[in-house]
Structure 1
């Protein structure tokens, strides 16, 4: 983890960008009697329910996760990601579920933190039960994780080029280790799969410690994301109209473990979304539930009681098999 003090320093110019984005999001989030998804008006303020935004079906989802920064930091220091938020949609009351990193990734992938409160390797936390990736494969759908810098499939240790196992939660699911070794890969096949329209139905991209803004700046992470996301948006899966892309962060490390505010910027891209701002309270369990729905199953563990990410953004999924 990087030091909290180093992350608090901001340039004046970056702060002005944050102010501009906050103005675009409007001030209505605290005024709505019931949180809803809202299309941005021409002035940038949010309006009523998103009745004008056509519902879209999500048959594929690709998740990118960055590290340890708040919603405000991501808006200020990640101009490409912030532009995606205002162009497509984002949630302004989305929270990580724990500190430190690992339990957040476990919640996304398995629907529960499993009581984990540290960042130890898979050998310290062998977890039984399905993941969203195993769930997809069991239902005849495809799944895969692309890990930046990982030296070999489903690697259970830290190493390679900035790879850490704690950001690759599938490695903790011991019942699916064989599946993990087949479908939990390095970043090498990513570009080919994007160009071929062969992204998995339930997919995740895990940057290395520099590209996720853990060891490097948010600007570095933003440029890395721009390279990858722009390729996806130019690819056949996006053109099909059935792919959703989600960008989120694991946690806000800046406030300390005792602070209940763990807000992170969570961006949802789908061809049918335009300027949507979701005020509903959501968490990583909502994302986990969304992944299970695309996997053709029901939400896992604690995610079963989470509000729907897709419904919040006016999106739907195919019926479960």
Structure 2
């Protein structure tokens, strides 16, 4: 009889072979990125009205487009991506911050990935701040656009819809919430004034036609167009269909626009988390087009670069970690920010997961405030602190972590869907069943953790 380890290896190889054999062929989901499509679920019935512009020091619009799970060399050496690279500034030392996908997305929004080491269905309490708080504090508009998300601020973990790639095939799960980081943070997804800014691609088409796109945008293609279920060449075909026309559209790409096209993590987990990241847009200085910047950057640099440009406050987390949050060099030079030289042999290992945190059941601690509330970030400002945040509970004050799995429980921030009533609720594991989280359910956790956790539950 084969050993469990051998069976796992054989099963993994079989799954990879089956996936590789899938004959994916790119088909555009719409006639153009500015046209709404019936291949998505429902048409947009409103538009945001972002016509006011807060002038930045280097750019006036910052667009992030995230793709999936590809090694740096695999992305840059294919013909389609070589052509793409020639049109922008290659950030040749850009890195994801951990594995798997979801924690990387969360880190780019909140400055931390909270110990998360899986792609499960979590939420983060409303007193934990994000880049949205920083932007709104300065009057900078924002929105996120999620391809194949069925409705604005849809809260489900995924959505399965008509397979527009193959009319005879079964419906396909094109949308997943783990790639929609603003949907995970309660301060955004549970705030009625903000929910309408968690939008889909039909909304994008509506917004661009109405000339009302935001100044900060986070864009996630669906599970085939982002290369997660396909290949980098497939994703390149999507970029040619969707992004290339928009590069010629001044409603999207005017003289103040910077576009960051990046992958979330690399595919090979046992090496450094080195990912392909390209800066495009008419706001990029012409002398940088077709060149390379070898400064050490991570996903936290996406936060610090925006902070430097608009003079924003900071989150007091890894966005002020001087090793991890270098500002894009062309922005640092214009804003007077001094980056840190991080030689290759001194760079932290960024392929490690399993840190203690509130989303890690094996090494659980409650959510925490920044350790240093006096930190000055790349924007020259101090830390933004939510009025509801207990600043006495910091990472450094929590002591040892607790293994919730050893007491048959899990992070209290897990979410499950009640599909029968189309609602969502927060659940923790209790025996073989599930029940809404209460303080009593966490009684097996040490008293110190209970006291700290009560502030956030």
Question: What displacement does 1:195 show?
Answer: 4.5
Instruction: Spell out structure 1 runs of 4+ moving beyond 6 A.
Output: 317-321
- SS state at 1:248 partner: strand
222-231 or 304-313, larger mean C-alpha shift: 304-313
- SS state at 2:113 partner: coil
Does the CA-based 8 Å contact 2:87-2:290 persist in structure 1?
Answer: yes
Question: What displacement does 1:261 show?
Answer: 0.9
1:278 paired residue number: 293
1:186 paired residue number: 200
1:92 paired residue number: 92
Number of aligned residues? 269
Matching of residues 113-192 of structure 1 within 5 Å: 113-123=113-123, 125-126=124-125, 128-157=127-156, 158-161=158-161, 162-176=174-188, 177-178=190-191, 179-192=193-206
How far apart, in 2, do the equivalents of 1:57 and 1:134 lie? Answer: 21
Matching of residues 259-298 of structure 1 within 5 Å: 259-271=270-282, 272=285, 273-294=288-309, 296-298=311-313
Closer, same or farther: CA 288–241 of 1 in aligned 2, 3 Å: same
1:236 paired residue number: 250
Question: What displacement does 1:296 show?
Answer: 4.6
1:64 paired residue number: 65
1:303 and 2:319 equivalent?
A: yes
Question: What displacement does 1:73 show?
Answer: 1.3
How far apart, in 2, do the equivalents of 1:120 and 1:8 lie? Answer: 22
Describe the superposition over 1:241-292 as per-residue Cα deviations: whole angstroms up to 9, x where unpaired: 1100000000012x22xx2411110000133132220111111111122234
Instruction: Answer 1 or 2: which has greater helix percent.
Output: 1
The TM-score with structure 1 as length reference comes to: 0.74
How far apart, in 1, do the equivalents of 2:255 and 2:261 lie? Answer: 18
Question: What displacement does 1:232 show?
Answer: 2.2
Question: What displacement does 1:139 show?
Answer: 2.1
How far apart, in 2, do the equivalents of 1:75 and 1:216 lie? Answer: 17
How far apart, in 1, do the equivalents of 2:311 and 2:245 lie? Answer: 27
Match of 1:223 among 234, 237, 247: 237
- SS state at 1:297 partner: coil
Instruction: Structure 1: give runs of 5+ residues left out of the alignment.
Output: 10-55
How far apart, in 1, do the equivalents of 2:214 and 2:318 lie? Answer: 24
Does the CA-based 8 Å contact 2:295-2:329 persist in structure 1?
Answer: no
Closer, same or farther: CA 303–246 of 1 in aligned 2, 3 Å: same
Does the CA-based 8 Å contact 1:289-1:298 persist in structure 2?
Answer: no
Question: What displacement does 1:96 show?
Answer: 0.5
Question: What displacement does 1:127 show?
Answer: 6.3
- SS state at 2:328 partner: helix
How far apart, in 2, do the equivalents of 1:150 and 1:317 lie? Answer: 37
Looking at CA atoms only, which structure, 1 or 2, has the larger radius of gyration? Answer: 2
1:103 paired residue number: 103
Closer, same or farther: CA 148–171 of 1 in aligned 2, 3 Å: same
Does the CA-based 8 Å contact 2:58-2:331 persist in structure 1?
Answer: no
Closer, same or farther: CA 154–173 of 1 in aligned 2, 3 Å: same
Instruction: Structure 2: give runs of 5+ residues left out of the alignment.
Output: 1-11, 21-56, 162-173, 337-378, 382-457
Does the CA-based 8 Å contact 1:127-1:172 persist in structure 2?
Answer: no
CA RMSD after TM alignment: 2.9
Match of 2:219 among 194, 197, 205: 205
How far apart, in 2, do the equivalents of 1:236 and 1:317 lie? Answer: 25
Describe the superposition over 1:27-80 as per-residue Cα deviations: whole angstroms up to 9, x where unpaired: xxxxxxxxxxxxxxxxxxxxxxxxxxxxx811111110000001111113471x
How far apart, in 2, do the equivalents of 1:234 and 1:7 lie? Answer: 39
Does the CA-based 8 Å contact 1:122-1:171 persist in structure 2?
Answer: no
Does the CA-based 8 Å contact 2:308-2:331 persist in structure 1?
Answer: no
Closer, same or farther: CA 291–57 of 1 in aligned 2, 3 Å: closer
How far apart, in 1, do the equivalents of 2:330 and 2:233 lie? Answer: 29
Closer, same or farther: CA 63–117 of 1 in aligned 2, 3 Å: same
